[in-house]
Amino acid sequence: MTTPPALRFDPIAEAHRQWEASGWGDCATGMTAVTSVMRVHQLFVGSADALLARFGVTFARYEVLMLLAFSRRGSLPLGKIGARLQVHAASVTNAINRLERDGLVTREPDPIDGRRTLAHLTTAGRQRAMRASRVLNEQLFSQLPLSERELGELVGLLRTVRREAGDFR
């Protein structure tokens, strides 16, 4: 990541001011909320991908590995992975291709339903996932500049947004 220099003001607070000056004051906080999520996402992905680079995985592929690691048999049908991560089937195919090429998962035919393909976590894949998790826990998840209570508030607010968007019920 080539990081541009920091600004001497908060660009989102500035945008809030401009929104109000444009007569959109009643939408200004919503706009800044959306923009804030966008920007923090960018920061989190940047940190995570930098930490995961040494393991040869992106955050997207790491999520697939963890899903398999927490599954009952260490394997899941590709469709299930897509539903859980809310990504397109083609994206799952791509991710599994790459993970398979790297020896972290294998493809197995589903004995129950021949249409399905199972992604199965290899021993190397499980090890990689665990080591990557340790680094993310130590360097990212436990280093956020928010208290446990604040983190809980953040998660709660975002859960409301997710639920309302139909993410789960």
CB of residue 58 to a second copy, shortest distance in Å: 12
Segment 76-135, which members bind a second copy (CB under 8 A)? 82-84, 86-89, 133
DSSP-assigned letters across all residues of 120-151: EE-HHHHHHHHHHHHHHIIIIIT--SS-HHHH
- Residue 72, token pair as written in the block: 């009952």
Segment 28-67, which members bind DNA (CB under 7 A)? 58, 60-61
Cα separation, 97 vs 91, in Å, equals 10
Among DNA, a second copy, none, residue 123 binds (CB under 5-8 Å by kind): none
Where do the H-state alpha helices sit in 53-88? 59-69, 78-85
144 is a contact residue toward a second copy (CB under 8 A): yes
Segment 8-37, which members bind a second copy (CB under 8 A)? 8-13, 15, 18, 22, 24, 26-27, 29-34, 36-37
The smaller minimum CB distance to a second copy, of residues 101 and 164, is found at 164
CB-neighbour burial class of residue 57 (10 A; exposed 0-12, middle 13-18, buried 19+): buried
Segment 68-97, which members bind DNA (CB under 7 A)? 77-79, 82, 87-97
Q: For residue 18, which of 8, 4, 32 has the smallest C-alpha distance?
A: 32
CB of residue 36 to DNA, shortest distance in Å: 18
CB of residue 146 to a second copy, shortest distance in Å: 6
Q: For residue 65, which of 41, 85, 83 has the smallest C-alpha distance?
A: 85
**Site size for a second copy (CB under 8 A):** 76
**Site size for DNA (CB under 7 A):** 28
Cα separation, 8 vs 94, in Å, equals 41
Among a second copy, DNA, none, residue 72 binds (CB under 5-8 Å by kind): none
134 is a contact residue toward DNA (CB under 7 A): no
